[in-house]
Structure formats: C-alpha cells, structure tokens
Amino acid sequence: MNTLLIIQIFITLALIGVILLQRSEGGGLGMGGGNSSSSMFTARGSANLLTRVTGVLAALFMGNCLLMTVLNSQAIKNQTKIVSSTPSKQ
C-alpha cells in the first residue's frame, strides 16, 4: 500500500509539471473573442504531445486511486473479520 502511495505522489507531481508546461490559450473559459482558422494550426499542434501525456497521467492517477480504494476496502474487511473472530475474554 505504501508503494502505491509513493507512486501516486510521483504521478501527481508529474501531472502538475505537465499541466504547468502547457501553453495558456488566454481568455480563460472560452472568452477569447474571434476564433480564426489561421490560429488553429500554430501552437496547438506542438501541444498535442503534452495533451496526450496529460491524459495518460490523468488515467494513471484515476486508476491508482481506484486500486488503492479497492485494496483499502479489502484490508478493512479483513481487519473486521479478524476482530469479530477473536473470542472476547470476560
């Protein structure tokens, strides 16, 4: 479980780094004004690699989160079985 947590930290740091490397398109939330077709193929083509890396890292992040959740829930179930199966001394 600790190994998955360390992997999660590395994935998170890589995801933050890749997102910060991406070029801002300005005018956040689509408020950029005119969207000319000549600007469509300039810097966006070079950003495809970063976009794909971001998608892969996001998928790894979500998959690792789900895996840690499943493993943690199984560990909790095993702990409750052990606790309920031990005889109580009175």
pLDDT tens per residue, range 11-25 = 999 999 999 988 776
Question: CA angle, 36 as apex, 35 and 40 as ends, to 5°?
Answer: 90
> What is residue 60's predicted lDDT score, i.e. its pLDDT?
97
Q: What does the domain layout of the chain look like in residue ranges?
A: 48-83
More confident: 35 or 49: 49
> What is residue 26's predicted lDDT score, i.e. its pLDDT?
62
Distance of CA 67 to the CA centre of its chain: 12
Cα distances from 6 to residues 9, 14, 50, 66, in angstroms, run 5, 12, 23, 15
Q: Are 54 and 29 in contact (CB under 8 A)?
A: no
Instruction: Identify the weakest region by mean pLDDT among 3-7, 41-45, 53-57, 79-83.
Output: 41-45
Q: What is the mean pLDDT of the chain?
A: 79
Return the DSSP state at 88.
Answer: P
